[in-house]
Amino acid sequence: MKAPRHVVDNPAPRRWLAFHPDGTVTVRTGKVELGQGILTAIQIIAAAELDVAPSAVRIAAADTALGPDEGPTAGSMSVADAGSAVRFVCAAVRARFVAVAASELSVAPDGVTVTDATFAAPGVGRRLTYAELADRVDLDRSLDTDAEVATRATAAAGSADLMPARLDLPDKVTGRPRYLTDLRPAGLLWGRVVRPPSPAAALERVDPVEVEAMHGVVTVVCDGSFLGLVAADERTADVAAERLGGLAVWRELPTLPDEDDLAGYLRGGPSTTFVVDETGEPAAAVERRLSATYSRPFLAHASMAPSCGVARWSSDGELHVWSHSQNIFGLRAAVAQALAMDPQRVSVEHVEHAGAYGHNGADDAAFDAALLARTVPGRPVQVRWSRRDELSWAPFGSAQLVDLSAGLDADGRVVSWEADIWSQGHTSRPGYAGSPGLLAAAHLEGGDPLPPPVDPPPERGAGSARGAVPDYAFPARRIHGHRLDQVALRTSSLRSLGAFTNAFAIECFMDELAQAVGADPVEYRLAHLDDERGRAVLTALADRSGWAGRPRDGDVGWGIGLSQYKKGGWCGVVAEVEAVADVRLRRLVLVAEVGRVVHLDGVRNQVEGGAVQSASWTLKERVRFDTCRVTSVDWETYPILRFSEVPPVEVHVLDRPDLPSVGAGEIAQGPTAAAIANGLAAAVGVRVRDLPLTAEAVVRALES
C-alpha cells in the first residue's frame, strides 16, 4: 500500500498513535464523529492492522493541537481517506515495533509474529507487548511516505468482526453527557447572540442599559450589527437576550426573491456558465426528443438540536474553542483570520453535537462564543443558538433546477442527452474565497462580508454539477452548469450537494423515457447500463424488492431509482408509495455497494439514515420566505418527516472485498427521491417534477 495523501501531509506517527502502559492504544484522526459511526470504523481498521483487540483501541476526538489535519469531514470520504491513512500508519508503525521486537528476540524481523498485541518468534520463549516496547519505538520520526507498506485485510462482510457495538451510541441512548451542550468546563458562563431579523438587516440603534442592569448579566456586546450578551446562568441569558432583541431597531431591505418563482430567480442571473461534459455524437438518428424540468427548493439542515459553541481566552491571549464543526482546522484558520491572530494561538477541539449534514451553524456558533468570551478572559462561554436562529441563519442547501432533454432512436434507446443545471453555489465553508466565511464576522463593524458561495472543483466532487453526468452509456452528452454570481440567501454544503437533485432528475426522466417507449423501468435502465457494479446493484434490488410482482393498479405505486455517488458507492432504491388523501411512503428497499465493507452495521445505518432524510426532503421540506425574511423558523413552518411517517426500511449491502472502501453517507439521497417520485407517478398517473411532493403539488399536477 502506498502512503495516502493525508499521511503525506501528516507523516509523524505521534500525530496518529500513542501506546500506553495498560496495553491500550490511542488513535487520533482528523475526521470527526457526526453520528455517522466513523470512529467505530477507524477502531476496526486500527485494531486489524496492529493486531490488538478493538476494545484496546481508544479513538480520540479530533483536536488541532494534537491530531493530524485531514481537512473537512465531508463528501463521504472519511472511510476512504481517514480509513486508508490509519491503515497505512498502523501498518508502518507495527513494522517498527516488529523490528525492535526482532532485535530483542535475536531473530530476523520476518521471524516475528504479532498475535493479540503480542510479539513472539518460533522457538523463543520470551514474548513482548506493545506496552513493553513503546519506549524504544520512535514515533516522532516521520514515516517513509515513498515506501510501500504491507497491510492486512479486514474480515469478510457479515462476520462478527464487522458488527461491533458503535462507540458513540451507549452514551446517546442512555442519556449520559456527550454532546457539546453538556460540556461544563470550570467557570462556565452563558452567551446569546441577538440576530438581525433578515439577511440584509443592519442595526440602527440599541440602548442596552436596561439589560446591562439585569441581575446575572455580565456584559452586553454591541459591535456593528453584532449584538450579544454574557450571563451567569442560562435562564438569565435567554431572558436577557429576548429583552435585548426587543430594544434593538433594525433597518431592513426587501432583497429576497419570489419563493413561488425560484425557476425565474435561478435563471435570472447573472450566472457563471461552465461545461460539465461534452462527449460524443449520437450513435443513430434521433427519431424523437423528450424534455422535462425538475427542481428542488432551498433546504435547511434542520438538525434536531440547534448549533452550539464554547470558547475560552487564556490570560496570555490564546483562544481555545470547542466545536461540532466538520472542519476544525478550517475553523481555526477562519477564526484567526477574522480576529487577525496567529493560527497557532488558536486551538479547536471537536465535541459531538446533534445532527450535522454538511456546513450548518456549528462554525458560526463557535465564532459567536469566541467573540463573547473575549470580553471575559479566563472564563469559558457557551453560545447555544435558538431554533429560529438555526432555521433562518445556518447556511441552506441551494435551490436547484435541472433541464433535461433526450434524443431517442427508432428502438427507443437514448442516443443523445442534454442537461442544464441552474443553482447557487454549494460551498461557503469557513475560509472560502479568501474570506473567514463566518456569520458574525460579516456583522461586525468593518467586518468581512460573506462572498457568494462557490462550488468545489471537479476533482473534489463538484457542487451543483455533482452527479450530473448520468451513469448510463449514452453515446452523446452535453451537460452545462449555470451558477448564480449574486445570491439572496446564504447557501453551502448540504448532504450530497447537487447530487440529490441531479439523481432525482435523471432517474425520474429515465422513468419518463421508459414509459414513453413502453418499457419496464428496470429493463430500460439495464439496456443503457454497462457498469457491472451498477448492474449488480440494480438486479439485486429488483430481486429483493419483489419488483416483478409489484401491483400495477390501485392507489399504490412502486418506483425505482439508481445512482453512483462520485464514482464511488452505488445505491438502488425501490419505494412503495400510497396516494389517497395524502402522499404516504409505505416501504423502502435499498441495495448498496460501497466496495470493501469495514463496518457492516455502520453502512446499513448510513444508508437507512440517508434514505429517511431524503424522504423528508422529498415529501416535506421547503425553506419559506417573503421579500425580506425567512419565515420557516420552527417545526410548524418547516415540517420534517415525523417518526410516525417513517416507513419500514430494508437495507441490503453487497460486499466487494476486491474493491477499495468508499463512503456510504450520501449514496441514498438522490435515488431515494427519484424512487418516491416515480412511485407517486405510478400511483396517481401524473408526474410531479417539483419538490416537495405534497398533496397540493399532486392536485396541481392533476389539474394541469
Per run of 10 residues, the mean pLDDT along the chain (length 704 residues) is 94 97 97 91 94 94 96 89 94 97 96 95 95 96 92 53 77 92 97 97 97 98 98 98 98 96 95 96 92 98 95 97 97 98 98 89 98 98 97 98 98 97 97 94 94 93 97 97 96 97 98 98 98 98 97 92 97 97 96 94 94 98 98 98 97 95 95 98 96 95 89
Largest CA distance in the chain: 86
Q: What's the CA gap between 101 and 90, in Å, rounded? A: 16
**Strand pairing of 25-28 and 57-60?**
parallel
**Cβ partners under 8 Å of residue 354, min gap 6:** 35, 179, 303, 304, 305
Cell of 137: 519505538
Instruction: Give how far the C-alpha of residue 484 lies from the chain's centroid of Cα atoms, to the nearest Å.
Output: 23
Place of cell 508503525: 93
For 110-268, where are the E strands, in sequence order? 113-115, 118-121, 124-129, 189-194, 202-205, 217-223, 226-231, 249-251
Place of cell 472543483: 457
**Cβ partners under 8 Å of residue 515, min gap 6:** none
Q: What is the pLDDT of residue 158?
A: 42
Cell of 441: 464576522
Pick the CATH number of 5-162 from 3.90.550.10, 3.30.70.100, 3.30.365.10, 3.50.50.60: 3.30.365.10
Q: What is the DSSP letter of 472?
A: S
**Cβ partners under 8 Å of residue 340, min gap 6:** none
CB atoms within 10 A of CB 129: 17
Place of cell 400510497: 578
Cell of 18: 500513542
pTM of the predicted structure, to 2 decimals: 0.95
CB 408 within 8 A of CB 513: yes
Give, in degrees to the nearest 5, the angle at Cα 181 between 179 and 187.
120
Q: Is 528 helix (H, G, I), strand (E, B) or coil?
A: helix
Q: CA Rg, the chain, in Å?
A: 27
Q: What's the CA gap between 605 and 585, in Å, rounded? A: 19
**Cβ partners under 8 Å of residue 161, min gap 6:** 44, 48, 154, 155
Domain 5-162 matches domain 183-252+307-384 at the CATH topology level: yes
Cell of 107: 531473530
Amino acid at 513: L
Q: What is the pLDDT of residue 153?
A: 62
Place of cell 441581575: 215
- Architecture of the CATH domain 183-252+307-384: 2-Layer Sandwich (3.30)
3-state helix, strand, coil in the chain (%, to 5): 35, 25, 45
Instruction: Give how far the C-alpha of residue 556 lies from the chain's centroid of Cα atoms, to the nearest Å.
Output: 32
**Helix (H) or strand (E) run with residue 267 in it:** helix 262-268
Closest CA to 610 of 668, 562, 570, 571: 668
Q: What's the CA gap between 633 and 639, in Å, rounded? A: 10
Alpha helices in 31-168 (DSSP H): 38-50, 84-105, 130-133
Cell of 544: 429483493
Closest CA to 625 of 120, 117, 226, 254: 254
Helices (H) and strands (E) in the chain, counts: 18, 24
Closest CA to 77 of 570, 536, 565: 565
Structural domain spans, the chain: 5-162, 183-252+307-384, 400-426+463-703
Residue 512 to residues 259, 619, 648, 690: CA-CA distances in angstroms?
A: 27, 20, 27, 15
Q: What is the DSSP letter of 2?
A: P
Cell of 139: 514515533
**Cβ partners under 8 Å of residue 636, min gap 6:** none
Q: What is the pLDDT of residue 689?
A: 98
> CA torsion 75→76→81→87, rounded to 10°?
170
Q: What's the CA gap between 151 and 90, in Å, rounded? A: 9
Q: What is the pLDDT of residue 389?
A: 96
Cell of 246: 426587543
CB 335 within 8 A of CB 346: yes
Give, in degrees to the nearest 5, the angle at Cα 10 between 5 and 14.
140
**Cβ partners under 8 Å of residue 376, min gap 6:** 189, 218, 219, 230, 313
Instruction: Give how far the C-alpha of residue 109 lies from the chain's centroid of Cα atoms, to the nearest Å.
Output: 43
What is the fold of 400-426+463-703? Aldehyde Oxidoreductase; domain 4 (3.30.365)
Q: What's the CA gap between 29 and 79, in Å, rounded? A: 11
Q: Is 314 helix (H, G, I), strand (E, B) or coil?
A: coil
Cell of 340: 487577525
Cell of 273: 456558465
**Cβ partners under 8 Å of residue 345, min gap 6:** 317, 318, 319, 336
Q: Is 248 exposed, middle or buried (0-12, 13-18, 19+ CB in 10 A)?
A: buried
Cell of 620: 416535506
Q: What is the pLDDT of residue 163?
A: 65
**Strand pairing of 113-115 and 118-121?**
antiparallel
